[in-house]
Amino acid sequence: MKFQIISHMTTLCNYDCSYCDVDKDGIFISLKTRDDIIDFIKNNRNYIERFKFFGGEPLLGFQHISHIIDATSMTLWNNFEIVTNTSLLSEKVCEYLERYFSHIFFSIDSENDFSFERVLSFIQKYNLETKLHFNLVISPWKEEEALEQFNILYDEGMRGFNILPVYFTQVWEKQNLENLWKLMKYILDISLSDSTLRLYGFQENSWENTSLANNTIFIDVYGDIYYSDIVTTFMWQILKDKLKLGNIKYFDLQTLEHYDFSMQKKYISLLEKKNYDTVKWQKQLHKIMDYFSEYLNKKNG
């Protein structure tokens, strides 16, 4: 069994999205944790499928990212991933994205400046499109802007999209859900006539599994290892102790091959169920996403 590793480079972000629940206390990985990550990758190379740089905004710690890649690229060749808000893209960053990364996620929403011209010029110059997905974040009252962003990117030839409505915020209203439904239908209808359009981010969205990705392990800025990246958010910090698996300094991924995660899954399910039942319009929001998820899964075979 191989694992996807998600590694927090920093809790800091240069944006301040209204829906963001990440605890942005401004901590970066230390030089020691950086070196521990390098050892961890080398020692566990047979058990790592992909290694994802995450934040906050991970490119605020690009010096750590480039150092880790320089030291481990022969071990994990072309199996790096990143999620970034695109604001810190540069020639140097894009050289690394082109050379070493298998998947790139550009998160865009309607609250922050997104420089289409600048980002598109990087994508073209460094041939990033085939491994690029846009995380199209849809927050309440911003559905029209999300549609506009999709149309601009689609017209520019971009074809990879994760559709990500913001979950567990009290701000959704009935009108927003109707707008979301129309937006989803519009995009899915296009995908029916354009087989090159790659849509993700649906899976099953019932309360049992919104926070889980299979075989994924999360490393925080201190090198502590958790069952899920949900521990980075305020809402889920209550589960931190229960989801902790150890520290990279002493960790052997092989020990997780036959590990029974049922307790961790149970804790997450209980809290998700509670939020699902108490946060306004969540049932309806999940229903919409489940409907399109099923549709998309059938379409993708």
Q: Interface with ligand SF4 includes 201 (CB under 6 A)?
A: no
- Residue ranges with strand state E in 100-179: 101-108, 132-138, 160-165
Residue from the set 85, 169, 232, 264 that interacts with ligand SF4 by CB under 6 A: 85
Distance of CA 35 to the CA centre of its chain: 24
Mind giving me the DSSP string for 191-229? HHH-TT-EEES-S--STTTTT--TTEEEE-TTSEEES-G
Q: Interface with ligand SF4 includes 295 (CB under 6 A)?
A: no
Q: Interface with ligand SF4 includes 229 (CB under 6 A)?
A: no
Select from 50, 31, 192, 44 the least CA-distant residue to 9.
31
Q: With CB under 6 A as the contact rule, which of the stretches 55-63, 118-126, 226-234, 257-265 interacts with ligand SF4?
A: 55-63
If the CB atoms of residues 22 and 188 are measured against ligand SF4, the closer one turns out to be: 22
Q: Interface with ligand SF4 includes 59 (CB under 6 A)?
A: no
Position 253, amino acid: L
Q: With CB under 6 A as the contact rule, which of the stretches 12-20, 171-179, 231-239, 282-290 interacts with ligand SF4?
A: 12-20
User: Measured between alpha carbons, how far is 150 from 186 in angstroms, rounded to an integer?
Assistant: 10
Q: Interface with ligand SF4 includes 17 (CB under 6 A)?
A: yes
If the CB atoms of residues 22 and 27 are measured against ligand SF4, the closer one turns out to be: 22
Residue from the set 22, 188, 235, 279 that interacts with ligand SF4 by CB under 6 A: 22
Position 93, amino acid: V
Distance of CA 54 to the CA centre of its chain: 8
Q: Interface with ligand SF4 includes 279 (CB under 6 A)?
A: no
Select from 64, 42, 44 the least CA-distant residue to 55.
64
Residue from the set 15, 181, 291, 295 that interacts with ligand SF4 by CB under 6 A: 15
Q: With CB under 6 A as the contact rule, which of the stretches 15-23, 94-102, 214-222, 290-298 interacts with ligand SF4?
A: 15-23
Mind giving me the DSSP string for 257-273? TT---HHHHHHHHHHHH
Q: Interface with ligand SF4 includes 81 (CB under 6 A)?
A: no
Select from 87, 79, 296 the least CA-distant residue to 187.
296
Q: Interface with ligand SF4 includes 56 (CB under 6 A)?
A: yes
Q: Phi and psi dihedrals of 219, rounded to 5?
A: -115, 125
If the CB atoms of residues 86 and 205 are measured against ligand SF4, the closer one turns out to be: 86
Q: Interface with ligand SF4 includes 16 (CB under 6 A)?
A: yes
Residues forming contacts to ligand SF4 in the complex (CB under 6 A) are 13, 15-17, 20, 22, 55-57, 85
